[in-house]
Structure formats: structure tokens, C-alpha cells
Structure 1
Amino acid sequence: MGRNLQSSDRLRPVDLARGHGLSTQAVRNYEAAGILPAAGRTPHGYRTYTSLHDGALRAFLALVPGHGHRTATSIMRAVNQGTSDDAFRLIDESHAQLADDRRTLQAVERALRDLGPITASGPGAGSRPTAASRPDDTFIGPLAGKLGIRPATLRAWERAGLVRPRRDPRTGYRVYDEADVRDARLAHQLRRGGYLLEQIAPLIAQVRAAGGLEPLETALRDWHRRLSARARAMLNGAAELEAYLRRRG
């Protein structure tokens, strides 16, 4: 992205900024945040930058797509403070999160495979038999505990249309049948994958209406692409960071 500079080069803030398509204010902000080493100063007090600053900026901008702005900032700050082990720990944590996200995606795909045919729902399909209990029925507390979430979360999902428990006619308690449990599992996995409630609700509604899982195939392909893009971005960020570390010596 930026120019390759010789060690003898001295850059004005505008030179460094233009080389990376940034504003001079952004460069000053990055320096203040510790992303860049402290600038040199001319006898008149003006900032001057060098190839080292160019390398730092290249590394930071390469780290952002894979690690996010906050973590990339923390990585660069640790390197510039001479605590590279802290930077490596942050990188390890990002890779661990990526691996966890891949496991989450696999869990979603397993959950989808476990979903059996769902009866297409018409205008009155929200109503269900009011039998007090069935062998596979469960209540809000046990289901929340099984998923590792709070009962309030399940109530929010119900308001969003993700699950549709019936009410026990005697107690008024929510009763979740096998289909509700599957929908809750699917919602839980998609939430872990970064999807919003307003994105999940129509997917589950389409699955119910279609009696199959085809509506989710596009979302899963997109999820795979995003994870692959993050992985490649991490590789690129690692290469630029290594180049910066070599330049620092």
C-alpha cells in the first residue's frame, strides 16, 4: 500500500499520509495511539517520519482486516513499547477466535443436518396442540441451561419470532417442543456466528415455510467466505508485522 522507503528518507506527515491514502490527521492520531513510534522533530518542532514509521503503518493497516481495529492497535502498541510477547499473545488469541468461529460454523452445519423436515406453515400455523406435556417437551429454564444462555434471551428470541413455544393450558408456562429446541439451537449457533436477530428470523421462517434448509445455504457460503478472508488477511498481516519487526531490529 505505502511506498518502500530507504532508511535515510525523512517524511513529512503529508508524505506518509498520502503514501497510504490517509489524512495527516489520521497519521497523527495513529502516532498518539501508539500505533506508530514517536515522530522525530525538526528544529522548528515539525514532525518527521522515516521508513520505520512507514513500515509500522503498513503493518497496522494489514493487521486490521484480520484482527480488527482494536486488536491491531493493541498489537502495534505492544510492539512499539518493546513488549512483543504481548503482541504475540494477542495474535494467538485472534487465531484461537478464528478457530472457534470455524468450529461454530461446523456446529451450525451439524445443527442444520439434524433438522428434520419441517411442516410448511400457513396463516394459522402458529397455533399448536395444547397438550400439557410430551416426551420431548421442555421448559424455558432447562432449555436456556442446555444452550448456556439466559431465559431472558429465549424470551427475546420469541419476540423476534425465532422460537414459537406454546403455553401450558394449566400453568401458562412456555413449553418448547422438539421443533422449538431445534430452532433455538440454530438461532444460538447463528448468533455465535455474528448474525443479528433480524437476519436470523427470516432465515428460520423460510426454513419452516419451505420445509427444508435451502434458504440457509447462501448464508453458510457467505460465512465460509468471510472466515477464509479473515484467515488470508491474518497471513498478510503477519507478513507485514514480521517485516516491521525486522526493520526495528
Structure 2
Amino acid sequence: MNTPLRPADLAREHGISTQAVRNYERDGFLPPASRTPSGYRVYTEVHAAALRAFLALVSAHGHATAGGIMHAVHDGDVERALTLVDRGHAQLARDRETLNTVRAASGSLPVGAVPEPAGGERTVGELAHRLGVTAATVRAWERAGILVPGRNPATGHRVFRAADVRDAELTHLLRRGGYPLTHIATVVEQVRTAGGTESLTQALETWQSRLTGRGLAMLDAAARLSAYLRSRP
């Protein structure tokens, strides 16, 4: 475990630069390295395990969350690290549920207007809260032509009906899948007019593949993180 390693040894395993390794240490994603009398960094297998864990976490959870997890570990707060991991898994589960809901609904999309339940109209704030986004995000979707809400004749405020909520939920799903607003506008318009669901089906299949890839990445990241935690003194 105390076998000395050079920055180049760690970098070579992952195909990254030695400067990247030094930057990761500087940013707290790796534990501090010891130094030789001449000032050269000396890494060990513990640092190698930390780098494997961090890069796996980046693939699974993104750079910001991966950094937060490693900072928590190095602060001695394993509970905080595990909470961040749990949040990533919870978000993946929510994405799967949303995907399955949209997929199930896409097979029976109605032509024309969607029946409006009693009291079903929502304000921009209520719709944003339902989706877990900001009101500004909902307005941006409207400016992009994705959402076409009506207006309350008395107040002039936006009102979102059942069809608008469906379109917003689909938009939220596709945005999480990384699709640009221009593409989403085309898909949502196709769904709105019930002129065919080929684009929607393709988008859902692509997003399903991405969710599977993220789930597998999370399994790998969990194993790497566990190995690193075991390697620490």
C-alpha cells in the first residue's frame, strides 16, 4: 500500500495528463501527497484508489457531485459522502419512473384536446413546483415555443391545462436527457397534434439507453469508492 508512485504512473492508467493528477490533488479530490526532499510528489496505492474512485464518480454523478463526495470523504464525513451518492441513485429512480410514465402514455396519446379535469388549471409557479424547476425555466420553454399556455381572462396570468402539463413533463424528461430546446419543440409539437410518435419513441429509447449507462456507471463508482474507503488508513 506504501509503494511509491509518480504522477505519471497515476496518469498513465487513465490516459490523462500528469498536470490533471496534480490539479485533482490541489482541488482536494485526492489526499495530499508527500514530498521528496527535492520537492517531487510521492503518491501511493491509496492515491491511485482515490483517483479511480473520483473518475468513476465523475462518469456516474458528474464532476460537481463527484468532487463533493471526495471532499466529504477527505473531511472524514462519510455520511455526507453517502448522502450525495444516495441522491444520485434517487434521481436515477425518479428519471426511470418519469420515463416509464411518458412511455406508457405515448401509446394512447389523444388527438386534439386532452380532457381537462376539474380544477386542473395550474399557474406557472404551480407547474414549476410540480416539475421541480424554476418558473423562469417554464417561461423559457414557452419562449422556445414548446409550451403554449392560455391566459386567465380576468388577470391575464398564464394558465396551464392538462395538455400543457403533459407537454411540460415531456419537456422536462427530454431536457434531462440532454436534448436541445429546438429538438424538444419538434417532438412536443408532434405529440400535441398526434401526427405520429416516431420521434418520441426514438427519444425515449435513447434516454433509456442513457439511464442504463448511468446506472452501470453508478455500480462501478460505488465499487471504486468502497475500495478507496477500505484502502484509507
For this structure pair, what is the TM-score category when the shorter chain's length is used for normalisation?
A: 0.7 to 0.9
Q: Cα RMSD over matched residues?
A: 3.3
What amino acid is the match of 2:122? P
Whole-angstrom distance in 1 between the partners of 2:66 and 2:56: 9
Q: Which residue of 1 aligns with 2:88?
A: 94
Whole-angstrom distance in 2 between the partners of 1:157 and 1:110: 24
Asked if the contact 1:75–1:90 (Cα under 8 Å) also holds between the matched residues in 2, the reply is yes
Matches within 5 A, 1:131-210: 136=116, 142-144=122-124, 147-148=127-128, 155-164=139-148, 179-180=163-164, 182-191=166-175, 194-208=178-192
Q: Which residue of 1 aligns with 2:30?
A: 36
Q: Which residue of 1 aligns with 2:232?
A: 248
Alpha-carbon distance, 1:20 to partner:
2.2
- With normalisation by structure 1, the TM-score equals 0.76
Asked if the contact 1:118–1:212 (Cα under 8 Å) also holds between the matched residues in 2, the reply is no
Count of matched residue pairs: 228
- With normalisation by structure 2, the TM-score equals 0.80
What amino acid is the match of 1:147? L
Residue of structure 1 aligned with 2:9, choices 15, 21, 25: 15
Alpha-carbon distance, 1:32 to partner:
1.1
Residue of structure 2 aligned with 1:68, choices 62, 85, 90: 62
1:142 is paired with a residue whose SS is coil
Q: Which residue of 1 aligns with 2:212?
A: 228
What amino acid is the match of 1:87? A
Q: Which residue of 2 aligns with 1:129?
A: none
Whole-angstrom distance in 2 between the partners of 1:166 and 1:53: 57
Whole-angstrom distance in 1 between the partners of 2:69 and 2:165: 41
Alpha-carbon distance, 1:110 to partner:
4.0
Alpha-carbon distance, 1:216 to partner:
0.5
Whole-angstrom distance in 2 between the partners of 1:78 and 1:96: 19
2:31 is paired with a residue whose SS is coil
Whole-angstrom distance in 1 between the partners of 2:135 and 2:66: 35
In the alignment, structure 1 segments of 5+ residues that lack a partner are: 1-6, 120-134
Asked if the contact 1:191–1:197 (Cα under 8 Å) also holds between the matched residues in 2, the reply is yes
Q: Which residue of 1 aligns with 2:102?
A: 108
Larger radius of gyration: 1
Q: Which residue of 1 aligns with 2:198?
A: 214
Alpha-carbon distance, 1:197 to partner:
1.9
Alpha-carbon distance, 1:106 to partner:
2.3
Asked if the contact 2:111–2:193 (Cα under 8 Å) also holds between the matched residues in 1, the reply is no
Deviations 1:163-187 (A, max 9, x none): 3457899998877776555434433
In the alignment, structure 2 segments of 5+ residues that lack a partner are: none
Residue of structure 2 aligned with 1:46, choices 25, 40, 47: 40
Alpha-carbon distance, 1:14 to partner:
2.1
Asked if the contact 1:166–1:174 (Cα under 8 Å) also holds between the matched residues in 2, the reply is yes
Relative to structure 1, the CA distance from residue 185 to residue 22 in structure 2 (aligned partners, 3 Å threshold; closer, same or farther) is closer
Whole-angstrom distance in 1 between the partners of 2:74 and 2:204: 39
Asked if the contact 1:104–1:193 (Cα under 8 Å) also holds between the matched residues in 2, the reply is no
